[in-house]
């Protein structure tokens, strides 16, 4: 049984320095891996990232992160990625990593993803250049996630986990205004997950007022681990069944 602690939407800023780390103190005893599902800072500014690194470095278990939309706001996601990697935390962006847990290889693949909507309310690459750019970026980001999930690292893994920021299914957005769905996730992400199958479990954040559980059309369990949803510094799930244990 593999135990994965996951949380997104920490929104760390300098004034919150020192508040998160004490709540994370027990995570190494509760889980085998910690996943950080984006929006780790409010704006992705270097001073915010420095605080984040102090809060989550050396927690005693492998920790893997992706960036979210807030982490791109200051326009320096590359620097944020470098800061996190210097703190010993890999950041995925269309790639994957393998972690050994008691002889079982856990593959984690993914990236930020993007919005675009679902089914009949999904945007399409038509009309004004701005709308085309939005739709094309959604497709590009989904393709990047898909490439990560079919990479050799993932193919060789015993357990395979997807880590994204935007939601792949509308079920985990339940509770958010439906008008926001195109900005909160995309069915293209679920398509990418299902095309790579089997994926044992998928995590995302972003939807603060959403619901915790969903499933892709292909049957992959999806968990919304935005901090306001899990109501704690992290939640722990077992893989491959996705049951919450803490």
Beta bridge partners of 222: 202, 214
Asked if residue 26 has pLDDT above 80, the reply is: yes
Residue spans per domain, the chain = 2-239
pLDDT score at 122 = 84
Over the stretch 120-140, which tens digit does the pLDDT of each residue have?
Answer: 778 888 899 999 999 999 999
19-28 long-range contacts (CB < 8 A, ≥24 apart) are 20/55, 20/56, 20/233, 21/54, 21/55, 21/56, 23/232, 23/233, 24/55, 24/56, 24/59, 24/233, 24/234, 27/59, 27/60, 27/61, 27/233, 27/234, 28/59, 28/60, 28/61
Over the stretch 171-210, which tens digit does the pLDDT of each residue have?
Answer: 999 999 999 999 999 999 999 999 998 999 999 999 999 9
DSSP 44-107: --HHHHHHHHHHHTT-SS-EEEE--TGGGTTS-HHHHHHHHHHTT--B-SSEEEEEEETTEEEE
Distance (Å, rounded) from C-alpha 124 to C-alpha 143?
Answer: 15
Residue 177: count of CB within 10 angstroms of its CB:
9
Q: What is the CATH number of domain 2-239?
A: 3.60.21.10
Residue 198: count of CB within 10 angstroms of its CB:
11
Q: Which residues contact 126 (CB under 8 A, 6 or more apart)?
A: 132, 135
pLDDT score at 164 = 98
| Band (246; pLDDT cuts 50, 70, 90) | confident
Judge whether 79 and 48 are in contact, CB under 8 Å: no
β-pairing, 63-66 vs 235-239, is unpaired
Summarize the confidence of residues 32-45 as an average pLDDT.
98
Asked if residue 119 has pLDDT above 90, the reply is: no
Summarize the confidence of residues 29-54 as an average pLDDT.
98
Judge whether 70 and 11 are in contact, CB under 8 Å: yes
pLDDT score at 47 = 98
Summarize the confidence of residues 87-113 as an average pLDDT.
98
- Specify the pTM: 0.97
Asked if residue 232 has pLDDT above 80, the reply is: yes
Distance (Å, rounded) from C-alpha 6 to C-alpha 38?
Answer: 11
pLDDT score at 33 = 98
């Amino acid at each position: 049984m593999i135990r994965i602690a996951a949380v997104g939407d920490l929104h760390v800023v300098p004034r919150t320095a020192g508040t998160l780390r004490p709540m994370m103190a027990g995570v190494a005893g509760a889980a085998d891996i910690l996943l950080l599902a984006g929006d780790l800072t409010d704006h992705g500014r270097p001073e915010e990232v420095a605080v984040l690194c102090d809060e989550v470095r050396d927690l005693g278990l492998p920790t893997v992160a992706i960036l979210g939309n807030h982490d791109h706001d200051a326009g320096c996601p590359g620097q944020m990625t470098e800061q996190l990697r210097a703190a010993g935390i890999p950041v995925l962006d269309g790639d994957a990593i393998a972690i050994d847990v008691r002889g079982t290889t856990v593959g984690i693949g993914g990236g930020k993803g993007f919005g675009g909507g679902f089914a009949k309310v999904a945007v399409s690459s038509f009309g004004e250049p701005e709308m085309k750019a939005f739709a094309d970026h959604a497709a590009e980001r989904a393709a990047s996630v898909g490439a990560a999930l079919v990479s050799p690292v993932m193919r060789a893994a015993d357990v395979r986990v997807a880590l994204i920021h935007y939601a792949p299914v509308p079920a985990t957005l339940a509770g958010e205004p439906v008008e926001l769905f195109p900005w909160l996730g995309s069915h293209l992400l679920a398509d990418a997950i299902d095309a790579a199958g089997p994926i044992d479990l998928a995590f995302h954040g972003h939807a603060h007022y959403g619901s915790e559980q969903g499933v892709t059309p292909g049957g992959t369990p999806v968990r919304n681990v935005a901090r306001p949803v899990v109501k704690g510094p992290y939640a722990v799930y077992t893989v491959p069944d996705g049951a919450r244990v803490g």
